[in-house]
Protein backbone atom coordinates (compact mmCIF):
# COMPACT_ATOMS: atom_id res chain seq x y z
CA UNK A 1 0.00 0.00 0.00
CA UNK A 2 1.40 3.39 -1.05
CA UNK A 3 1.64 5.92 1.76
CA UNK A 4 -0.29 9.10 1.11
CA UNK A 5 1.71 12.31 0.68
CA UNK A 6 0.17 15.53 1.98
CA UNK A 7 1.26 19.15 1.65
CA UNK A 8 0.01 21.73 4.15
CA UNK A 9 -0.19 25.20 2.65
CA UNK A 10 -1.12 27.98 5.09
CA UNK A 11 -1.03 31.73 5.49
CA UNK A 12 1.09 33.32 8.24
CA UNK A 13 -1.67 34.33 10.63
CA UNK A 14 -1.26 32.97 14.19
CA UNK A 15 -4.47 30.94 14.10
CA UNK A 16 -3.44 29.29 10.83
CA UNK A 17 0.09 28.53 12.05
CA UNK A 18 -1.30 26.92 15.21
CA UNK A 19 -3.65 24.70 13.23
CA UNK A 20 -0.92 23.81 10.72
CA UNK A 21 1.44 22.71 13.49
CA UNK A 22 -1.22 20.60 15.21
CA UNK A 23 -2.27 18.98 11.95
CA UNK A 24 1.35 18.21 11.08
CA UNK A 25 1.91 16.44 14.40
CA UNK A 26 -1.29 14.41 14.07
CA UNK A 27 -0.51 13.28 10.53
CA UNK A 28 3.08 12.33 11.34
CA UNK A 29 1.81 10.23 14.23
CA UNK A 30 -0.21 8.28 11.64
CA UNK A 31 2.82 7.78 9.37
CA UNK A 32 1.48 10.08 6.66
CA UNK A 33 4.24 11.72 4.65
CA UNK A 34 4.27 15.52 4.76
CA UNK A 35 5.95 17.05 1.74
CA UNK A 36 5.50 20.03 -0.55
CA UNK A 37 6.88 18.04 -3.49
CA UNK A 38 4.47 15.93 -5.58
CA UNK A 39 1.75 15.59 -2.90
CA UNK A 40 -1.45 13.61 -3.35
CA UNK A 41 -3.49 16.09 -1.32
CA UNK A 42 -2.91 19.76 -0.56
CA UNK A 43 -4.53 21.00 2.64
CA UNK A 44 -4.83 24.79 2.66
CA UNK A 45 -5.21 26.59 5.98
CA UNK A 46 -6.50 30.14 5.98
CA UNK A 47 -9.22 31.16 3.54
CA UNK A 48 -10.07 31.40 -0.14
CA UNK A 49 -7.00 33.56 -0.83
CA UNK A 50 -4.77 30.85 0.61
CA UNK A 51 -6.44 28.20 -1.53
CA UNK A 52 -6.03 30.36 -4.64
CA UNK A 53 -2.32 30.72 -3.89
CA UNK A 54 -1.98 26.96 -3.43
CA UNK A 55 -3.89 26.35 -6.66
CA UNK A 56 -1.39 28.44 -8.63
CA UNK A 57 1.54 26.90 -6.78
CA UNK A 58 0.45 23.43 -7.96
CA UNK A 59 -1.24 24.40 -11.25
CA UNK A 60 1.16 22.15 -13.18
CA UNK A 61 0.01 19.08 -11.19
CA UNK A 62 -3.75 19.48 -11.24
CA UNK A 63 -4.28 16.09 -12.87
CA UNK A 64 -3.04 14.25 -9.77
CA UNK A 65 -3.67 16.55 -6.79
CA UNK A 66 -6.80 16.99 -4.68
CA UNK A 67 -7.37 20.03 -2.48
CA UNK A 68 -8.92 20.46 0.97
CA UNK A 69 -9.65 23.90 2.39
CA UNK A 70 -9.64 24.74 6.11
CA UNK A 71 -10.76 28.24 7.06
CA UNK A 72 -9.41 29.91 10.17
CA UNK A 73 -11.22 33.24 9.82
CA UNK A 74 -14.39 34.22 8.02
CA UNK A 75 -16.22 31.55 6.07
CA UNK A 76 -14.54 30.78 2.76
CA UNK A 77 -16.32 29.69 -0.39
CA UNK A 78 -13.80 26.93 -1.15
CA UNK A 79 -13.09 25.88 2.44
CA UNK A 80 -15.21 23.04 3.84
CA UNK A 81 -13.54 22.57 7.22
CA UNK A 82 -13.28 24.76 10.31
CA UNK A 83 -10.15 24.99 12.46
CA UNK A 84 -11.95 23.40 15.44
CA UNK A 85 -12.59 20.23 13.41
CA UNK A 86 -9.03 18.89 13.53
CA UNK A 87 -9.91 15.36 14.81
CA UNK A 88 -12.59 14.90 12.14
CA UNK A 89 -10.25 16.07 9.37
CA UNK A 90 -7.44 13.78 10.50
CA UNK A 91 -9.87 10.86 10.59
CA UNK A 92 -11.08 11.64 7.07
CA UNK A 93 -7.52 11.87 5.75
CA UNK A 94 -6.57 8.60 7.43
CA UNK A 95 -9.49 6.78 5.79
CA UNK A 96 -9.10 8.49 2.39
CA UNK A 97 -10.19 6.34 -0.54
CA UNK A 98 -9.52 8.79 -3.36
CA UNK A 99 -12.99 10.26 -3.69
CA UNK A 100 -13.19 13.70 -5.30
CA UNK A 101 -15.38 16.35 -6.90
CA UNK A 102 -14.04 18.52 -9.71
CA UNK A 103 -14.78 21.97 -11.11
CA UNK A 104 -13.98 23.53 -14.51
CA UNK A 105 -11.22 26.11 -14.93
CA UNK A 106 -10.46 29.03 -17.24
CA UNK A 107 -7.73 28.84 -19.89
CA UNK A 108 -6.12 32.24 -20.60
CA UNK A 109 -3.85 32.58 -23.65
CA UNK A 110 -2.20 35.99 -24.14
CA UNK A 111 -0.52 37.04 -27.39
CA UNK A 112 1.67 40.13 -27.68
CA UNK A 113 2.51 42.41 -30.59
CA UNK A 114 6.18 41.42 -30.28
CA UNK A 115 5.30 37.80 -31.09
CA UNK A 116 5.55 36.48 -27.53
CA UNK A 117 2.81 34.80 -25.55
CA UNK A 118 1.81 33.73 -22.02
CA UNK A 119 -0.49 30.97 -20.84
CA UNK A 120 -2.38 30.86 -17.53
CA UNK A 121 -5.08 28.80 -15.84
CA UNK A 122 -7.55 30.53 -13.51
CA UNK A 123 -9.80 29.11 -10.81
CA UNK A 124 -12.08 32.16 -10.48
CA UNK A 125 -11.65 34.71 -13.23
CA UNK A 126 -9.40 36.78 -15.44
CA UNK A 127 -9.82 40.45 -16.32
CA UNK A 128 -8.28 42.85 -18.79
CA UNK A 129 -8.69 46.56 -18.15
CA UNK A 130 -7.22 50.04 -18.12
CA UNK A 131 -7.13 52.18 -15.01
CA UNK A 132 -6.80 55.78 -16.14
CA UNK A 133 -8.28 55.68 -19.64
CA UNK A 134 -11.06 53.93 -21.51
CA UNK A 135 -10.29 50.46 -22.84
CA UNK A 136 -11.19 50.01 -26.50
CA UNK A 137 -11.36 46.45 -27.81
CA UNK A 138 -13.10 44.15 -30.21
CA UNK A 139 -14.79 41.08 -28.73
CA UNK A 140 -15.00 37.89 -30.80
CA UNK A 141 -16.88 34.67 -30.05
CA UNK A 142 -15.47 31.70 -31.97
CA UNK A 143 -13.62 34.14 -34.24
CA UNK A 144 -16.82 36.01 -35.15
CA UNK A 145 -17.00 39.69 -34.19
CA UNK A 146 -19.56 40.10 -31.41
CA UNK A 147 -19.16 43.71 -30.28
CA UNK A 148 -16.86 46.70 -30.03
CA UNK A 149 -16.34 47.38 -26.34
CA UNK A 150 -15.64 50.72 -24.68
CA UNK A 151 -15.29 50.93 -20.92
CA UNK A 152 -13.02 50.12 -17.98
CA UNK A 153 -12.57 46.43 -18.80
CA UNK A 154 -13.96 42.92 -19.17
CA UNK A 155 -14.14 39.98 -16.78
CA UNK A 156 -14.33 36.33 -17.84
CA UNK A 157 -15.15 33.89 -15.04
CA UNK A 158 -15.58 30.20 -14.36
CA UNK A 159 -18.82 28.88 -12.80
CA UNK A 160 -17.25 28.83 -9.33
CA UNK A 161 -15.73 32.24 -10.05
CA UNK A 162 -19.21 33.51 -10.88
CA UNK A 163 -19.66 33.97 -7.12
CA UNK A 164 -16.60 36.25 -6.90
CA UNK A 165 -15.78 39.44 -8.84
CA UNK A 166 -18.19 38.58 -11.65
CA UNK A 167 -21.11 38.60 -9.21
CA UNK A 168 -20.21 42.10 -8.02
CA UNK A 169 -20.38 43.22 -11.67
CA UNK A 170 -23.95 41.93 -11.97
CA UNK A 171 -23.14 38.50 -13.36
CA UNK A 172 -25.26 35.42 -12.75
CA UNK A 173 -24.24 32.64 -10.36
CA UNK A 174 -23.58 29.50 -12.42
CA UNK A 175 -23.56 25.93 -11.19
CA UNK A 176 -20.14 24.35 -11.96
CA UNK A 177 -21.69 21.39 -13.79
CA UNK A 178 -22.61 23.80 -16.60
CA UNK A 179 -18.97 23.80 -17.83
CA UNK A 180 -19.48 27.31 -19.20
CA UNK A 181 -17.72 30.67 -19.10
CA UNK A 182 -19.31 34.02 -18.32
CA UNK A 183 -18.25 37.47 -19.56
CA UNK A 184 -19.27 40.57 -17.63
CA UNK A 185 -18.54 44.19 -18.45
CA UNK A 186 -16.70 46.62 -16.19
CA UNK A 187 -18.28 50.08 -16.50
CA UNK A 188 -19.11 49.89 -20.21
CA UNK A 189 -19.91 53.03 -22.20
CA UNK A 190 -23.25 52.92 -24.01
CA UNK A 191 -24.43 55.97 -25.94
CA UNK A 192 -25.25 57.04 -29.51
CA UNK A 193 -21.69 56.30 -30.65
CA UNK A 194 -20.77 53.17 -28.68
CA UNK A 195 -23.06 50.24 -28.00
CA UNK A 196 -22.48 46.89 -26.29
CA UNK A 197 -24.88 44.18 -25.21
CA UNK A 198 -24.55 45.69 -21.72
CA UNK A 199 -25.41 42.35 -20.16
CA UNK A 200 -23.46 39.33 -18.94
CA UNK A 201 -23.16 36.54 -21.49
CA UNK A 202 -22.64 32.81 -20.92
CA UNK A 203 -20.92 30.76 -23.61
CA UNK A 204 -20.96 27.02 -24.25
CA UNK A 205 -17.96 24.76 -23.48
CA UNK A 206 -17.02 24.38 -27.16
CA UNK A 207 -16.91 28.14 -27.73
CA UNK A 208 -14.23 30.68 -26.82
CA UNK A 209 -13.92 34.44 -26.36
CA UNK A 210 -11.16 36.51 -27.92
CA UNK A 211 -10.51 40.11 -26.90
CA UNK A 212 -8.42 42.26 -29.24
CA UNK A 213 -7.65 45.61 -27.56
CA UNK A 214 -6.22 48.71 -29.19
CA UNK A 215 -2.43 48.74 -29.08
CA UNK A 216 -1.57 50.37 -25.75
CA UNK A 217 1.05 49.74 -23.07
CA UNK A 218 -1.00 50.35 -19.93
CA UNK A 219 -3.32 47.32 -19.83
CA UNK A 220 -3.59 45.33 -16.63
CA UNK A 221 -4.28 41.62 -16.88
CA UNK A 222 -5.41 39.78 -13.78
CA UNK A 223 -5.57 36.03 -13.27
CA UNK A 224 -7.43 35.30 -10.05
CA UNK A 225 -5.75 37.44 -7.37
CA UNK A 226 -2.56 37.97 -9.38
CA UNK A 227 -1.92 41.12 -11.41
CA UNK A 228 0.24 41.23 -14.52
CA UNK A 229 1.28 44.54 -16.06
CA UNK A 230 2.15 43.37 -19.51
CA UNK A 231 3.67 44.61 -22.74
CA UNK A 232 1.33 45.62 -25.61
CA UNK A 233 -1.30 42.89 -26.04
CA UNK A 234 -2.38 41.70 -29.47
CA UNK A 235 -5.21 39.51 -28.16
CA UNK A 236 -6.34 37.37 -25.23
CA UNK A 237 -8.31 34.15 -25.77
CA UNK A 238 -10.44 32.60 -23.03
CA UNK A 239 -11.87 29.09 -23.09
CA UNK A 240 -12.81 26.26 -20.74
CA UNK A 241 -9.51 24.70 -19.70
CA UNK A 242 -8.60 21.08 -20.32
CA UNK A 243 -7.50 20.92 -16.67
CA UNK A 244 -9.90 20.75 -13.75
CA UNK A 245 -9.47 21.34 -10.04
CA UNK A 246 -10.22 18.36 -7.79
CA UNK A 247 -11.37 18.59 -4.18
CA UNK A 248 -11.28 15.66 -1.77
CA UNK A 249 -14.91 14.70 -1.35
CA UNK A 250 -15.16 13.71 2.30
CA UNK A 251 -18.10 15.97 2.97
CA UNK A 252 -17.76 18.51 0.17
CA UNK A 253 -20.59 21.02 0.57
CA UNK A 254 -23.27 21.08 -2.14
CA UNK A 255 -22.79 24.09 -4.42
CA UNK A 256 -26.10 25.81 -3.64
CA UNK A 257 -25.64 25.22 0.09
CA UNK A 258 -22.26 26.90 -0.28
CA UNK A 259 -23.82 29.87 -2.11
CA UNK A 260 -26.58 30.21 0.49
CA UNK A 261 -24.13 30.00 3.35
CA UNK A 262 -21.77 32.57 1.82
CA UNK A 263 -24.27 35.20 0.68
CA UNK A 264 -27.61 34.73 2.44
CA UNK A 265 -27.12 32.87 5.71
CA UNK A 266 -30.81 32.34 6.38
CA UNK A 267 -30.19 28.78 7.58
CA UNK A 268 -27.73 29.99 10.20
CA UNK A 269 -30.16 32.71 11.30
CA UNK A 270 -32.92 30.12 11.59
CA UNK A 271 -30.70 27.91 13.77
CA UNK A 272 -29.88 30.85 16.06
CA UNK A 273 -33.56 31.80 16.41
CA UNK A 274 -34.47 28.20 17.19
Annotated catalytic residues are 48
Kindly provide the residue ranges of all beta strands, DSSP E only, lying in 35-180, ordered along the sequence.
41-46, 66-71, 81-82, 100-112, 117-122, 125-129, 135-141, 144-157
CA distance 219 to 2: 48
Residues 151, 187: contact at Cβ < 8 Å?
Answer: yes
Q: Where are the alpha helices (DSSP H) in 44-136?
A: 48-57, 86-94
Kindly provide the residue ranges of all beta strands, DSSP E only, lying in the chain, ordered along the sequence.
5-10, 33-34, 41-46, 66-71, 81-82, 100-112, 117-122, 125-129, 135-141, 144-157, 181-188, 201-203, 209-213, 220-223, 226-229, 233-248
Amino acid sequence: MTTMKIAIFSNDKPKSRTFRNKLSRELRDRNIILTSRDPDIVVTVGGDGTLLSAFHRYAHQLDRIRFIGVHTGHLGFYTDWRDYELPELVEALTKDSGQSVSYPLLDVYVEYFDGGHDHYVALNESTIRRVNKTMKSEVYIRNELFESFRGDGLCISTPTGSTAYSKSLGGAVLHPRLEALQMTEVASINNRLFRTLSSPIVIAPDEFITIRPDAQEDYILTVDSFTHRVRPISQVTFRVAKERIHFARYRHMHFWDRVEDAFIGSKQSHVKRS
